[in-house]
Chain A
Amino acid sequence: MWKCMRAASLWTIWEERNGRIFQEKERSLAEVKECIMTRTISWLKTSDLFVNYSIDDLRRNWAVVASTTSTNIILQAERKSPPEGHKFTKEGSKQALLNLTQDPEMGGGYIFEFDKFSDRDVCRDFVGKVLGKIQSMVSSGQDARAVSERSAVAVHDEQLSTREMEHRMKLLREDSELQKLHKQFVIAGVLTESEFWATRKKLLDTDARTSKQRVGFKSAMLADVRPLTDGRTNKVTFSLTPEIIHQIFAEKPAVHQAFLNFVPNKMTEKDFWTKYCRAEYLHRTKNSIAAAAEAAEDEELAIFLKHDDILASEARRKIRRVDPTLDMEADQGDDYMHLPDHGIFRDGNKEVMDSEYELYKRTLSQDLNRHAAVVLEGRALDLELGDTRTVAEALARSKQVELATESSDEKANEKRLERLSQMAGIEDLQSSRGLPFAPLCIKDPREYFDSQQANALQALGDTIGGMKPINYSLSTEEAYGSLRDLISEMKATGLNHPVVKPDVALKVLNALTQHLSSTKHHVGKNPQESVLDRLPRKTKEELLHHWTSIQELLKHFWSSYPITTTHLYSKVTRLKDAMSQIYPKLQEIKESMQSDFRHQVSLLVQPMLQALDAAFAHYEAELQKRSTKAGTRPNGTV
């Protein structure tokens, strides 16, 4: 394709030069660019790669076209046999590969190698989209070609990551109703993808939210590395993963400090870890004498074997900040370590305290406590575990920041002192403290009732249409007077005899029973039973589907008003066309029903038609307004 473009630009420039010299015809730079583009596209169309796309399509998706030069094989392969899945190597690895797997019957898959990762990414996204569409369109049996064409357009409109695309496809696959709506509107071009999903952000977000969880340290004591022993030779193998190294740095600040100091000045990382593992091994063998001996020889090793000084100072600092009202005396009694016949088993041996070499001993309880404290503190860093050096430095930085904030935290100190004084206070000797409160704010109810009367007068003019207004030619006194007269008259004459004429009563009774029996027949015995359930299944599904599609369309329709941009205008027109398509379908359903269901179906369809009518009326009104507005403008510009 680049050859094409080169040739086309040469040709166009030569033409332009000729034109300028011989015919004195000048064209602007933009026009020339456009010319080059058109030429290239028309030449490319001769290749069977692009023969099915229109020139407009290719022009609009130039980015895709430009990057597909190195991957034209993919498109050809796709069209012949749609791929099942695709895998790709991570960025940063040596090769940029895209692996398209296929149904094994059709013959294996393809592996493509790219020059640049950016190219590979574009193709990967494109393929991902195509795959998604293929999978969701398999049931409708649409041609893969049409799919790739549509997705070519779609790719240009939004830049979605593959993950998002896959997520959407998954949602569509799981919810068949959503899929039907999607097919009906997005594929038919009534709504764009972004509009369709704009109102469904909740669905798309939930997945993303769960993956944002910050994972802490594992509770297993990874820092307690166990070596693998090869039974044959005397070699012992320790395997350290970045996760383990991260934990080691978190739990043993002396090791962390040593790492920062020694590597890469004094020794390489590998040596450092070898020494560390050696120290671990010595600990494990519980040979404190040997440990002491080795420590004396190698000062670096000594760091790993001795107790952690940094940890000790940290602990001392923490103890200073402990609440003084805490009763530490009680802990002395809990010390069962020094009792005879007591001890914690570790690796099958009982630990015995030996005071001489205590410096070189490490107890299980110390390790456990330290590990627990670190796990509870949480992961200080969020970066991916890659290079050990960067991890170490990042940890050091975060620790420094922590220290700085601690020491300069005046407020925290103040709060602590306040709390101490509160806890140590003797309640009997103190006066009662006024609790903080927020003032209550209740709206004046009189305001509400006063407005009632004023509004009631206004409401007189708004009689609801279709109702017979009651004639009020009398004044209030007359009205009251006549009523009271009636009552006194009644007191004098007594109750009306008979209360009800028998034939009237019979008529009423008959009418009531007939009404009841007819509604029972129509609506069913159970008042909870809905009319929908009594209709044949196909009709019910159709009606429900029409209802959801009308809801969707109306949602987008009403949200586009007021119309401010041409985009909204075209959208509204599209929506209106779609709605006018559904309208006759509803009428059809009504007519096609059998007579006994017809009434109920028309009752169900009625609100849908009303909603559509309201939308159409609004549209017409807006159109009218616009045309009158446009008419008043001088040039008729809209």
Chain B
Amino acid sequence: MASITSKLYSDDVSLLVVLLDTNPFLWSGENTTTNSLSFPKFLTHVFSFLNSILLLNQLNQVVVIATGLNSCDYIYDSSSSPTTVESLENGRMPALCSKLLQNLEEFLARDQELNKDESPPGIASSLLSGSLSLALCYIQKVFRSGPLHPQPRILCLQGSSDGPEQYVAIMNAIFSAQRSMVPIDACVIGAQHSAFLQQASYITGGVYLKPPQLDGLFQYLSTVFSTDLQSRSFLQLPKPVGVDFRASCFCHKKTIDMGYICSVCLSIFCKHHKKCSTCGGHYLVSCKISGFQV
């Protein structure tokens, strides 16, 4: 695998790809008061964390991808920093933060434009599948850049709930991450656990954490998620008690426990279909399977 050659590099150099959840419905409105974490505070924690990552090792890289409602985009790439250091006029924050904020604002504007107004308010989920794919593409580019490259990992800071319609795309992304040996860590700051991210961490060998105390988010991030891959072999990191392995069906995107499986392409359906919509196979016999939780 490509990442084995990174052994020639120093062992603890890491490339961290952070997927920020910028779902406006998550951060604005009454939720923030109940969540005890406002968006500025959240960004403060995250920026400090990113700075600390860059401080750990001179060769560390950080990439930030924003997960919006209708689109995702790269917001920040530490390896492409310009030579001149821009800072704000009042010099209140480091260049990283100001640049990030600027890009984030522009991204939100673009995302809002993409918004089709026919859709009623209340689409809860952000496009996690899109940002995962963007992250994996970037990592693949890094793999192909030469024999010396940092060890990549993905950190998802997710607050919105899972959209079952993204099940197939997310599972595909998870499996390709597994194949490229890229761990997906998940830090869930929303109100509920995320089944997709639990599965992602379980399958790829990452860490899943839902911090009970959100105002100490920076402490969680720096204790658990700043560890590089080489150190993880001798560090103890929190393990979830169980993993929710429920799948969602391919026809209606509902989360199901028991369903029907195509014997050719293994697509999952909630009702018996004569013809599989993914691979076009015809069936004579139907058989039900039930899923067990671990």
Contacts and interface: CB of A to CB of B under 8 A. Distances in A.
Contacts of B112: 476-477, 480
Interface stretch (A103-111, A261-269, A363-371, A511-519): A511-519
B93 A486 contact: no
Given A483-B108, A484-B108, A473 B29 contact: yes
Interface residues of A, number: 60
Interface in A549-598: 558
Interface string A445-467: 00010001101111110101001
Given A455-B253, A486-B38, A500-B218, A519 B29 contact: no
A614 B39 contact: no
Contacts of B43: 490, 495
A380 B108 CA distance: 79
Contacts of A488: 105
B215 to A, nearest CB: 5
Interface string A474-507: 1111111011101111110111100111001101
Contact of A487 (B105, B111, B161, B292): B105
Contacts of A456: 123, 125, 163, 165, 253
Interface string B189-212: 011100000000000000000011
Contacts of A479: 24-25, 28-29, 121
A614 B290 CA distance: 10
Interface in B129-187: 160-161, 163-166, 168
A464 B254 CA distance: 10
Interface string A164-183: 00000000000000000000
B104 interface: yes
B17 interface: no
A350 B44 CA distance: 101
A470 interface: yes
Given A479-B24, A500-B218, A470 B31 contact: yes
A445 B28 CA distance: 34
B27 A483 contact: yes
B200 to A, nearest CB: 17
A516 B31 contact: no
Interface in B79-101: 88, 90, 92-93, 97-98, 101
B98 A472 contact: no
A483 B22 contact: yes
A443 B41 CA distance: 45
A496 B41 CA distance: 6
Contact of A500 (B216, B253, B294): B216
Nearest to A448: B168
A471 B239 contact: no
Given A456-B253, A480-B108, A494 B213 contact: no
B278 interface: yes
Contact of A505 (B111, B219, B294): B219
B93 A474 contact: no
Given A482-B29, A519-B238, A459 B164 contact: yes
B101 A487 contact: yes
Contacts of A458: 252-253
B40 A470 contact: no
B47 A467 contact: no
Interface residues of B, number: 79
B212 A474 contact: no
Contacts of B236: 516, 520
Contacts of A511: 212-213
A443 B38 CA distance: 44
A446 to B, nearest CB: 14
Contacts of B231: none
Given A501-B215, A520-B236, A495 B47 contact: yes
B28 A515 contact: no
B48 interface: yes
B217 to A, nearest CB: 8
Contact of B238 (A455, A512, A558): A512
B26 interface: yes
A468 B92 contact: no
A512 B220 contact: yes
B109 interface: yes
A611 B161 CA distance: 27
Nearest to B116: A453
A610 interface: yes
Contacts of B24: 476, 479-480, 482-483
A523 interface: yes
A163 B239 CA distance: 53
A472 B25 contact: yes
Contacts of A483: 22, 24, 27-28, 39, 108
Given A452-B165, A494-B90, A505-B218, A468 B191 contact: yes
Interface of B: 22, 24-31, 38-41, 43-45, 47-48, 69, 88, 90, 92-93, 97-98, 101-102, 104-105, 108-109, 111-112, 115, 117, 119-125, 160-161, 163-166, 168, 190-192, 211-213, 215-220, 223-224, 236-239, 241-242, 252-255, 278, 288, 290, 292-294
24 contacts: A452-B165, A455-B252, A456-B123, A457-B119, A462-B254, A470-B31, A473-B30, A476-B112, A477-B112, A478-B29, A479-B121, A480-B115, A488-B105, A490-B43, A495-B97, A500-B219, A504-B219, A505-B218, A508-B211, A508-B220, A509-B223, A515-B238, A523-B239, A611-B290
Q: 10 tightest A-B contacts by CB?
A: A494-B92, A479-B24, A508-B216, A482-B28, A472-B122, A496-B44, A508-B219, A467-B192, A505-B219, A455-B253
Given A468-B192, A474-B28, A512-B220, 4 more contacts: A467-B161, A470-B161, A474-B29, A484-B108
